[in-house]
Amino acid sequence: MIETFSTVQIAVAAIAGLLCLSLGLGGKTPNDLTLGVTLLVEVLLLAQVVVSIVAPFVGNIATGSVLEFWVYLVTAALLPPLAGLWALLERNRWSTVILGVTCISVAIMVFRMNEIWFVQQA
């Protein structure tokens, strides 16, 4: 993990989440903006997957449990596609709320992954 990158990722996911939540509660159905920011969150997660595979080979080793880290990362990466798919199937404002919930969850999970990688002692 790269601390700067994961910090940016947490910030993006949190902002995306708040945006989708407020638009959703305001009655907006999923649109290019809300689906777009959710897609961005997913792309960053996939980038995180690549970073986390490469990192140990260049000496950037997790201090905590690698298994726990990957459970979080894989789960997090599954959420936006599920939420996005559901948003496309049933287009109402609650789908936008779900996109928001998803992005917030991702922010929390990346925060936790960050702790496992840098803080937790295995």
Does residue 22 touch another protein according to CB under 8 A? no
Distance, in Å, from the CA atom of 62 to the CA atom of 47, rounded to the nearest integer, reads 17
- Phi first, then psi: give them for residue 14, nearest 5 degrees: -65, -45
User: From the list 95, 107, 110, 113, which residue makes contact with another protein (rule: CB under 8 A)?
Assistant: 95
- Phi first, then psi: give them for residue 31, nearest 5 degrees: -135, -175
Q: Which is nearer to another protein, 26 or 59 (CB)?
A: 26
Binding mask 27-66 for another protein (x = CB under 8 A): --------------------------------------x-
User: From the list 39, 86, 115, 120, which residue makes contact with another protein (rule: CB under 8 A)?
Assistant: 86
Does residue 90 touch another protein according to CB under 8 A? yes
Q: Which is nearer to another protein, 53 or 82 (CB)?
A: 82
Tokens of 122: 């295995």
Tokens of 113: 């992954």
> Contact at 8 Å (CB) between 72 and 45?
no
CA dihedral 37, 82, 4, 2 (to 10 degrees): -150
Question: Applying CB under 8 A, which residues contact another protein?
Answer: 65, 67-68, 71-72, 75, 78-79, 82-83, 85-86, 89-90, 92-95, 97-98, 101-102, 105, 108
